């Protein structure tokens, strides 16, 4: 059935540039369309926020944050963002159009995948998330719906709409956004969202690809939440017998309930996945899975939703600090009490019971009766994108006044247009009430501070305070900048950039220290020499045989002539003296044959020919045959004289 027939945006041109041809998909917060950029004549995807949500500045900020975050990634496995803008009530992102399907489509049609296919999909997903994590972002909503597979086989990660900075925002209060089937335990219980929540979700997705079903299922979201908190993700081989143990281990590492037991980020998990692939044979990688077991899931398990967090006896969120949640329009079905595990009945943690209670409370409020006297209240009109004059006229027509006018910077609203209202559009207030409107001052430009000579942590703090993001840190030697302080930045100090731009820092390793050769000299003398240069000396735990006497340095970890930084460690391996080797009997042998025999035994050879000696036969040797002599020592052989 064509789902685009009744869509009012199909056939329209947004912002005088983007012609909308068809609807691709609809989600809880936005609808995605196939469109044509009439200016550049190219097909792209247009993600348009639902107008009801566009009245909420927090959702608009999330849209803008998604555009900025993805634009900064520029990774081949991330769906690219080309543009962002607003046209009346419509806020949109113009994105790369990927012709193909989602991983959810593949799983729905084929069920369990072969291990090779699962890893072929997982690895580019982890590469994309790894780039996001190393750039300082957490996706927070990884699931098969957000993995796009192009007709050409390319895999791309989409929908960074819930992206958050790794450092600046890691907790939420009251509720948590996400999809119940892929939420990590710490997201549910504490609202914590660092790089390891994406790792957990990828572990669940890998399990689903290998088995064709989710590890935790239930009739209601509450049952799924309970299982995330109390039950480990089972090994995939329990559902698909014959799967290699290496894949069980990979899923167990990624989806460990304790975040401390998971790989730190997606880049680390990518290394484990590649290692697991190398340990599998072609037969194991290409094994055809049996028919996947039937999957039972509720209609809300695959939707991005607001999940109520644990609350105390007064209904307050247990977490103390963090961002205020943005409420979502989707509802969760009323859950029954969480199911008990089949083999044992662990005592539920208090947080789990409060999670379920929170779900029930939220649903009770959602289905209650809300009485409004329509004669005393009116709705605030949606004023986003309007000029001040237009906003005042619409408020006056609605019987409302203007309480005040504020001005703030905005990257998404044109200068002089409304970027926010208090109360927001759609909110009911008394008919004679007043509204505060916030007008855009246009995009804010931030000057990069001069960080040369500043200690690294101080430089990072200054960047954050200026509204910029600390970026990649590289180390270099410097003759005049103290060790640990900034040599330069990119962009350089004084240059102007948009807020949240990443600034790369070059940090001093101090003056270079040429490392001398200390092999063959006594250990104390070697240590004194190196420490005098500002280097740290470490002694290897084991000694080795070497030609130099016992107690001297046999090897050094940093080669002579190498440049090191002050404080760098040099490991010294001590000699326990040369090995003692048996001396062969070469008396009576030809001189050349004797030389070869002694050298093969580990000795050096010196030939002593007496004056006027014409013999080429060894008459005597300096070390008696059968006795031991130091390896590498010189043995003299003598021919017979007249």
Q: pLDDT by residue (tens digit) across 348-365?
A: 444 444 444 444 333 333
In this predicted structure, which of 157-161, 192-196, 465-469, 477-481 has the lowest mean pLDDT? 157-161
Kindly report, residue by residue over 85-95, the tens digit of the pLDDT. 888 888 888 99
**CATH fold label, 377-440:** Trypsin Inhibitor V; Chain A (3.30.10)
Secondary structure of residue 165 in the 3-state scheme = strand
Round the average pLDDT of the chain to a whole number and report it: 81
Q: If you average pLDDT over residues 367-376, what whole number do you get?
A: 34
- What are the extents of the domains in the chain? 13-95, 101-294+301-327+347-366, 377-440, 446-508, 512-574, 580-639
Question: Among the listed ranges 142-151, 356-365, 473-482, 534-543, which one has the minimum average pLDDT value?
Answer: 356-365
Residue 152 is among the residues annotated as catalytic for this protein:
no
> What is the pLDDT averaged over residues 435-444?
85
Average pLDDT estimate for 161-180: 50
Whether residue 81 contacts residue 95, with contact meaning beta carbons closer than 8 Å, is answered with yes
Q: Which two tokens stand for residue 572?
A: 């010294």
* The one catalytic residue among 56, 141, 194, 411: 141
What local confidence, expressed as pLDDT, does residue 331 receive? Answer: 29
Beta-carbon count within 10 A of 218 CB: 22
Superfamily, domain 101-294+301-327+347-366: Transferase(Phosphotransferase) domain 1 (1.10.510.10)
pLDDT digits (tens, 9 = 90+) for 87-137: 888 888 899 999 888 999 999 989 999 999 999 999 999 999 998 888 888
Q: What is the pLDDT of residue 586?
A: 93
Q: Give the lowest-confidence range in 304-313, 449-458, 529-538, 613-622.
A: 304-313
What length is written for the chain? 642
**CA-wise closest residue to 329 among 366, 376, 284:** 366
Percent of the chain with pLDDT over 90: 46
The predicted model scores a pTM of 0.49
d(CA 10, CA 19): 8
- Contact in structure between 140 and 178 (CB atoms under 8 Å): yes
For residue 560, pLDDT over 80 is answered with: yes
**Quick one: tokens of 145?**
């719906």
Q: Which of 642, 582, 575 is nearest to 615 (CA)?
A: 642
User: What pLDDT score does 220 carry?
Assistant: 83
Q: Using 50, 70 and 90 to split pLDDT, how confident is the model at 211?
A: very high
Q: Which has the minimum average pLDDT: 202-206, 211-215, 346-350, 469-473?
A: 346-350
Query: What element of type H or E holds 24?
Result: strand 18-26
Least confident of 183-197, 235-249, 507-521, 597-611: 183-197
Mean pLDDT of 12-28: 89
Q: Which CATH superfamily is domain 13-95 in?
A: Phosphorylase Kinase; domain 1 (3.30.200.20)
512-574 belongs to CATH 3.40.50.620: no
- pLDDT band at residue 464 using 50, 70 and 90 as cut-offs: confident
Class of the CATH-defined domain 446-508: alpha beta
Q: Is 345's pLDDT higher than 60?
A: no
Tell me what pLDDT residue 621 has: 93
Q: What is the dihedral of CA 281, 287, 293, 297, to 10 degrees?
A: 60
Classified by CATH at the fold level, domain 580-639 comes out as Trypsin Inhibitor V; Chain A (3.30.10)
Dump the DSSP string for 537-604.
EEE-SS-B--SSPTTBEEEESS-TT-EEETT-EEEEEEB--PPEEEPP--TTSBHHHHHHHHHHTT-E
Per-residue model confidence (pLDDT) at position 324: 32
For residue range 245-304, what is the model confidence (pLDDT) as tens digits? 999 999 999 999 999 999 999 999 999 999 999 999 999 999 888 754 434 444 445 555
pLDDT tops 50 at residue 172: no
pLDDT value of position 163: 55
Dihedral over Cα of 456, 140, 199, 72: its sign = negative
Same fold, 13-95 and 101-294+301-327+347-366: no
Read out DSSP for 64-92?
A: HHHHHHHHHH--TTB--EEEEEEETTEEE
34 pLDDT higher than 50: yes
Instruction: Give the highest mean pLDDT range of 5-14, 56-65, 496-505, 594-603.
Output: 594-603
**Average of pLDDT values for 569-598?**
92
Q: What is the structure's pLDDT at 369?
A: 28
Q: How far apart, in whole angstroms, are the C-alpha atoms of residue 417 and residue 432?
A: 24
What does the pLDDT read at residue 167? Answer: 43
Q: Are strands 13-14 and 18-26 parallel, antiparallel or unpaired?
A: antiparallel
419: nearest Cα among 393, 437, 395: 437
Q: Helices H, strands E: what count in the chain?
A: 16, 33
């Amino acid at each position: 059935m064509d789902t685009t027939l009744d869509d009012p945006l199909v056939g329209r041109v947004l912002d005088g540039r983007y012609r909308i041809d068809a609807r691709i998909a609809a989600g809880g917060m936005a609808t995605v369309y196939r469109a044509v950029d009439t200016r550049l004549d190219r097909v792209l995807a247009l993600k348009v926020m639902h107008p009801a949500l566009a009245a909420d500045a927090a959702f608009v900020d999330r849209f803008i944050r998604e555009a900025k975050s993805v634009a900064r990634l520029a990774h081949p496995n991330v769906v690219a963002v080309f543009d962002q803008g607003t046209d009346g009530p419509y806020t949109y992102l113009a994105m790369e159009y990927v012709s193909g399907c989602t991983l959810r489509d593949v799983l729905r049609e084929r069920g369990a995948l072969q291990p090779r296919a699962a890893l072929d999909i997982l690895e580019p997903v982890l590469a994309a998330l790894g780039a996001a994590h190393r750039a300082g972002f957490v996706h927070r909503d990884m699931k098969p719906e957000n993995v796009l597979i192009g007709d050409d086989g390319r895999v791309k990660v989409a929908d960074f709409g819930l992206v958050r900075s790794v450092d600046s925002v890691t907790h939420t209060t009251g509720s948590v956004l996400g999809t119940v089937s892929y939420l990590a335990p710490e997201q549910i219980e504490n609202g914590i969202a660092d790089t390891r929540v994406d790792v957990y979700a990828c572990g669940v997705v890998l399990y689903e690809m290998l088995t064709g079903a989710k590890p935790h299922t239930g009739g209601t979201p509450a049952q799924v939440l309970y299982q995330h908190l109390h039950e480990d993700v089972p090994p995939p081989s329990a559902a698909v017998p014959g799967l290699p143990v290496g894949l069980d281990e990979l899923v167990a590492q990624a989806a460990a309930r304790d975040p401390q037991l998971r790989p730190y980020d997606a880049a680390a998990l990518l290394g484990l996945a590649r290692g697991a692939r190398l340990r599998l044979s072609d037969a194991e990688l290409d094994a055809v899975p049996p028919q996947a077991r039937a999957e039972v899931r509720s209609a809300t398990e695959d939707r991005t939703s607001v999940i109520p967090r644990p609350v105390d006896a007064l209904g307050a969120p247990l977490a103390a600090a963090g961002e205020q949640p943005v409420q979502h329009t989707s509802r969760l079905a009323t859950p029954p009490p969480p199911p008990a595990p089949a083999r044992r009945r662990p005592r539920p943690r208090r947080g789990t019971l409060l999670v379920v209670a929170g779900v029930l409370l939220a649903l009770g409020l959602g289905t209650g009766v809300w009485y409004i006297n329509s004669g005393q209240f009116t709705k605030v009109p949606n004023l986003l994108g309007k000029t001040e004059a237009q906003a005042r006229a619409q408020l006056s027509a609605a019987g409302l006044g203007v309480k005040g006018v504020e001005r703030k910077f905005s990257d998404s609203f044109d200068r002089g247009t409304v970027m926010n209202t208090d109360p927001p559009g759609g909110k009911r207030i008394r008919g004679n009430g007043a509204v505060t409107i916030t007008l855009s001052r246009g995009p804010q430009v931030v000057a990069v501070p001069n960080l040369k000579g500043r200690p690294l942590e101080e430089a990072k703090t200054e960047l954050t305070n200026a509204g910029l993001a600390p970026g990649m840190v590289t180390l270099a030697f410097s003759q005049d900048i103290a060790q640990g302080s900034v040599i330069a930045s990119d962009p350089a100090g004084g240059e102007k950039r948009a807020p949240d731009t990443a600034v790369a820092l070059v940090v001093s390793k101090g003056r270079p220290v040429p490392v001398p050769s200390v092999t063959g000299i006594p250990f104390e003398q070697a240590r004194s020499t190196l420490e005098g240069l500002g280097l740290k000396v470490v002694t290897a735990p084991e000694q080795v045989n070497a030609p130099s006497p016992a107690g001297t340095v046999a090897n050094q970890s940093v080669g002579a002539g190498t440049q090191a930084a002050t404080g760098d460690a040099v490991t010294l391996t001590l000699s326990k003296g040369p090995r003692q080797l048996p001396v062969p009997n070469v008396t009576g042998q030809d001189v050349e044959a004797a030389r070869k025999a002694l050298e093969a035994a580990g000795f050096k050879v010196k030939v002593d020919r007496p004056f006027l000696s014409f013999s080429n036969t060894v008459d005597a040797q300096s070390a008696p045959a059968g006795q031991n002599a130091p390896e590498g020592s010189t043995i003299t052989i003598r021919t017979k004289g007249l």
